[in-house]
Amino acid sequence: MPRKIVWETPEDINKTIANNLINIRKRKKISQKRLSDMSGVSYGSIKRFETTGEISLSSLTKLAVSLDISDDLKNLFTGTSYNNIQEVIDENR
C-alpha cells in the first residue's frame, strides 16, 4: 500500500492540539494555575505543553477531563475509515 504524504510534522500536530486546548481554556476563563489545581497536572507541565505541544498522554487526559472535553479525546481515532475490505475482515477476527 502506498504511503500517504503528510505535510505536517508530529511537532506541528502536537502544537495544534496545544493551541486548541489553550483556546478552550481561555474561552472558559481558566488560568494555567487554576487548570493545574483542577487537574493535578503541574503548572510547569501545562506551561511546557502550551509552549511546545509536549505532554504525556496521562496528563493530557487529566486536562481534558478538567476542561470537560474528555469525549473529544476518547473519540480521537473513532472516525478512521477503512482503506479496503480486508481491513474490515481483519478487524473482526
Query: What CATH number should be reported for the domain holding residue 69?
Result: 1.10.260.40
pLDDT of 87 reads: 84
Mean pLDDT for the chain overall: 92
C-alpha cell, 57? 498522554
Enclosing domain of residue 35: 10-74
64 CB contacts (<8 Å, ≥6 apart)? Answer: 70, 72, 73
The predicted model scores a pTM of 0.81
Q: Answer yes or no: is 85 within a domain.
A: no
User: Structurally, how many domains does the chain consist of?
Assistant: 1
Share of the chain above pLDDT 70, in %: 95
The residue assigned the cell 503541574 is 42
pLDDT of 61 reads: 98
Q: In this structure, what are the phi and psi dihedrals at residue 2, rounded to the nearest 5 degrees?
A: -65, 145
Q: Answer yes or no: is 51 within a domain.
A: yes
Contact yes or no for 63/41 (Cβ under 8 A): yes
Q: Answer yes or no: is 1 within a domain.
A: no
